[in-house]
């Protein structure tokens, strides 16, 4: 046999974007060799040894000829072990060990064990999503991944436990007995994956004693998807408030749930046993976290960071002033655009990163500034230097600022407040009003509406417009800050059932934005 060629389709992931790759194999006379080309990385080059061993375990093997495998398009960076199955089948097809029409219009994803077993590769769910967006409807995956791959709509999924099972099902001959052919997910398996396997949070909003004003601000933030900053002394309950926020957020919609799960799968922070992520996640990286840990990238440009893992949920940065300023400023792009773009020499990748930011910080290094319980030992210079680590452009993107005081003994003696379930009902109703108002537009939450559209189409009345102008003129609000006050005012109106924000709604939004007293509106300046 001379000059035989074959092609098998698989997919390469660049971030969350899937690119169809044709695994082209040529078997020709010449020096016996097995060459892999097409810009593979180190982990992919190792697939030659895995393929050789797997074929041998199935009673098959590489032809005693010159075998060249090209991953096309050749200029696209490729990495990972998910190419193993496609490479093995392409070799078998080119060498005539399986019929030429057996694998037409099918895409193959899977890592090969040395014994020929099929194993799920990292990021399989993201790869299947990418394949579906590329128009693929028929996909073969390891049997262990059938249920999670079947979560992607519009895709017919087939699963195999062993390479020999696949070879026999397409008309080839392999040495493994007890072939099980392909499998489809059973109804029970699908039910497992379409329900959240995440443990419900043990922290309920009712566990937060006192803090009525902070609880109100948290509810407003949840209803409109607004970013929030909590400032207060140690022990004031900032962390409890932040960790209670996901419990008052509505469940994720289908698309967001699938995307969030795929991101966690790509970061290897999720396993099939965890089930589909249906509840808003919360990510709380330590203040020592590096830039790649927060935004993604690192040695592998395709790995999402904490801000992408928080997609659809909450990114909580405790002790925000302790984070490196460069790391904090990296949040500015995703806060504005809802995506994180990482530029590297090899590739540029984009990850979804639509989250609610919660910053928590002490007012000074010792934490006791303005405290009624302890004396502050910081100088005025130390206080200014501490909070200046949070840049003005970043803080300008925060919608709500809450000053949190340490609860008193009387607060602990009080009955518990409303539960998260009760608050979540109001949040869902407010979000429904927003969806109705923005029907036919790409926006669903008040937070997402561009400022220009907000001022043009959703300016409540002249009195509020004049109040905003005065606040901007006297320097208490920037133009971006004025837009954010207007967004928060709409959210307050949605929670109250108002058709349009009232002056009281605007006044409260202004107070939440600036951190000033509730009854100090801009008209008093």
What is 205-420+428-441's CATH number, 3.40.640.10, 3.40.140.80, 3.30.450.20, 3.40.50.300? 3.40.50.300
Instruction: Give me the pLDDT at residue 392, please.
Output: 86
Q: What is the pLDDT of residues 392-447, one digit of tens each?
A: 888 888 999 998 888 776 666 666 678 999 999 999 999 999 999 999 999 999 99
Mean of the per-residue pLDDT values of the chain: 86
If we measure between CA atoms, which residue out of 513, 325, 279, 342 comes closest to residue 505?
Answer: 513
14: left (phi over 0), alpha (psi -120 to 50) or beta: beta
- What are the sequence ranges of the domains in the chain? 4-193, 205-420+428-441, 449-525
Q: What is the mean pLDDT of residues 133-149?
A: 90
Q: What is the pLDDT of residues 329-374, one digit of tens each?
A: 899 989 988 999 888 777 788 899 999 999 999 888 888 887 777 8
CA distance 35 to 47: 11
Q: Which fold has domain 4-193?
A: Ribosomal Protein S5; domain 2 (3.30.230)
Q: 401 - beta bridge partners?
A: 229
CA distance 298 to 378: 37
CA distance 471 to 482: 8
- Report CA-CA distances (Å) from 84 to 71, 78, 180, 463: 12, 12, 21, 66
Q: How confident is the model at residue 303 (pLDDT cuts 50, 70, 90)?
A: confident
Instruction: Give me the pLDDT at residue 452, please.
Output: 87
Q: What is the mean pLDDT of residues 74-83?
A: 89
4-193 and 205-420+428-441: same fold? Answer: no
Higher pLDDT, 167 or 417: 167
Output the pTM of the full model: 0.86
Q: What is the pLDDT of residues 217-237, one digit of tens each?
A: 999 999 999 999 999 888 888
Q: Cβ contacts of residue 161 below 8 Å, gap of 6+?
A: 117, 118, 142, 143, 144, 180
CA distance 311 to 282: 9
Instruction: Give me the pLDDT at residue 140, please.
Output: 95
Instruction: Give me the pLDDT at residue 372, please.
Output: 76
Q: What is the pLDDT of residues 488-503, one digit of tens each?
A: 999 999 999 999 999 9
């Amino acid at each position: 046999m001379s000059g035989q060629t074959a092609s098998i389709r698989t997919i390469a992931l660049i971030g969350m974007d899937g690119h169809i790759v044709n695994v082209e194999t040529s078997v020709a006379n010449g020096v016996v060799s097995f060459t892999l080309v097409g810009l593979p990385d180190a982990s992919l080059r190792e697939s030659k040894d895995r393929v050789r061993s797997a074929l041998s375990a199935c009673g098959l093997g590489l032809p005693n000829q010159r075998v060249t495998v090209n991953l096309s398009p050749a200029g696209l960076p490729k990495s990972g072990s998910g190419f193993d199955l496609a490479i093995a089948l392409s070799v078998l097809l080119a060498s005539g060990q399986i019929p030429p029409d057996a694998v037409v219009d099918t895409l193959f994803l899977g890592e090969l064990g040395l014994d020929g077993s099929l194993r799920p590769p990292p990021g399989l769910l993201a790869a299947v999503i990418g394949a579906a967006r590329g128009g693929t409807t028929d996909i073969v995956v390891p049997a262990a991944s059938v249920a999670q791959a079947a979560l992607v709509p519009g895709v017919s999924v087939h699963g195999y436990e062993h390479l020999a099972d696949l070879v026999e099902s397409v008309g080839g001959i392999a040495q493994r007995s007890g072939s099980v052919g392909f499998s489809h997910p059973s109804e029970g398996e699908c039910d497992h994956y379409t329900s959240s396997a995440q443990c419900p949070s043990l922290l309920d909003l009712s566990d937060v004693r006192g803090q009525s004003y902070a609880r109100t601000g948290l509810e407003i933030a949840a209803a409109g998807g607004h970013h929030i900053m909590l400032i207060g002394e140690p022990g004031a309950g900032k962390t409890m408030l932040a960790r209670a926020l996901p419990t008052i957020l509505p469940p994720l919609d289908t698309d967001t749930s699938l995307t969030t799960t795929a991101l966690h799968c790509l970061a290897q922070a999720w396993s099939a046993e965890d089930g589909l992520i249906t509840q808003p996640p919360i990510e709380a990286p330590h203040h020592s976290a590096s830039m790649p840990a927060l935004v993604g990238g690192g040695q592998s440009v395709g790995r999402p960071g904490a801000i992408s893992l928080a997609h659809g949920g909450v990114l909580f940065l405790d002790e925000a002033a302790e984070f490196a300023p460069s790391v904090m400023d990296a949040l500015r792009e995703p806060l504005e655009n809802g995506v994180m773009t990482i530029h590297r020499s090899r590739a540029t990748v984009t990850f979804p990163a639509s989250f609610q930011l919660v910053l928590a910080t002490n007012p000074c290094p010792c934490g006791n500034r303005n405290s009624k319980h302890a004396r502050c030992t910081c100088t005025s210079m130390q206080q200014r230097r501490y909070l200046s680590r949070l840049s003005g452009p970043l803080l300008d993107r925060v919608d709500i600022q809450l000053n949190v005081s340490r609860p008193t003994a009387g607060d602990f003696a009080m009955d518990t407040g409303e539960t998260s379930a009760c608050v979540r009902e109001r949040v869902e109703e407010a979000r429904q009003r927003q969806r109705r108002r923005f029907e036919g537009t790409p926006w669903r939450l008040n937070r997402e509406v561009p400022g220009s559209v907000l001022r043009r189409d959703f300016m409540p009345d002249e009195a509020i417009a004049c109040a905003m102008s005065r606040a901007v003129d006297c320097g208490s609000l920037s133009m971006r800050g004025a837009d954010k006050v207007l967004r928060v005012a709409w959210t307050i109106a949605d929670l109250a059932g108002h058709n349009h924000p009232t002056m009281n709604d605007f006044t409260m939004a202004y107070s939440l934005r600036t951190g000033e007293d509730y009854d100090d509106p801009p008209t008093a300046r």
